[in-house]
Amino acid sequence: MQKPDDTSAGGCQALQAELAALRRKLAFYEALVEDLPMPVFAKDEHSRFCLFNRAYEKFFGARREDMLGRTVLELDFLSPEERERYQAEDTAHVGEVDEKHYHVSYATPQGLRHTLYWTRGIVSSLGEIGRVGVIVDISKERQLRIKLAQKIRELRDARAELQQLCRTDALTGLANRRPLDDMLEKCVAMARRHGHPFSLLMFDLDFFKRINDSYGHEQGDKTLQACAAVLRENTRREDLPARVGGEEFCILLPGTVLGNALGMAERIRLAVSRNIILPGGRAVTASLGVAQYQADESAEDLLRRADEALYRAKEGGRNRVCS
């Protein structure tokens, strides 16, 4: 009677133990893939689905039993154009190990989803080839980026509006003192460097306090706004009219010599008295002082001379132009 081969029995047990260990490891890897939160899939050398996880089923609203062994050409949830494009990509790159990733949008049961699509070819140790891919849903991130971009635009607009408000007189819409000072310094620099002439016109409305006292501050505000309208209608695009005080205005006139500045001042004086009429028919008048920039003087010197000319117009009886 032949005795059992202990060596053969031991070898069989070892193989069974190794096989059991491999099965446990395979089950573990399958569980890992199955429980991944993003859709994962794999295709064989003929571009047929051979694996995908629960997240893939949920994302596309598909069942694995309806998809395994099929190519993208047979997937109903893709458009005909998408099927052709993805099939051509699978066929061209199956087995290639170069990674590919790009953004793609899918119509899913949850609505349009924006994703990052990652894929690469695979080659097993036994020479089998295929393709594996992962789909990462970035819809929320995309929405956040859109909202962030919108907030940035709103912030930029608000900043621009704030800057505009900082440089604009709220009542009249004219420039305030800040842009006037900035442009005045530029004109001084151009005059010193290149000899470009420019002039400054300064004026205020005569007896403006009486308008507020007699007709109220609302009428006073309307009068100032009407004065601003006169300035816009009687200045050039390159000129800068500005409100620098209560009823005091300035106009910076680049490229303008004294004679032309005096002519503009006279037109403005007449326009004020003809167009700004108070209740009861009384006309509003203005006194104006004009000065042309002189060589090597500062911006403060020019402002002082224009203010002195305005003072002379008032002392001379108002409703007149002086230089």
Is 129 in contact with 45 (CB distance < 8 Å)? yes
Phi/psi of residue 16, each to 5°? Answer: -65, -40
Q: Which residues are known catalytic residues?
A: 247
Output the CA–CA distances (angstroms, integers) from residue 43 to 110, 129, 247, in the order listed: 25, 9, 81
Output the CA–CA distances (angstroms, integers) from residue 256 to 139, 176, 196, 248, 311, in the order listed: 60, 21, 9, 21, 22
Sign for the CA dihedral angle at 216, 220, 225, 227 comes to positive
- From the DSSP assignment, how many helices (H) and strands (E) are in the chain? 10, 10
Distance CA 102, CA 172 (A): 54
Three-state DSSP at 148 gives: helix
Output the CA–CA distances (angstroms, integers) from residue 299 to 64, 80, 127, 189, 275, in the order listed: 82, 73, 85, 10, 32
CB neighbours of residue 22 within 10 Å: 10
CA 104 to chain CA mean position, Å: 25
Distance CA 303, CA 246 (A): 17
Is 320 in contact with 313 (CB distance < 8 Å)? yes
Strands 40-43 and 129-137, sheet pairing: antiparallel
Backbone angle region of 233, left / alpha / beta, with phi > 0 → left and psi within -120 to 50 → alpha: alpha
Name the residue type at position 159. R
Distance CA 107, CA 77 (A): 8
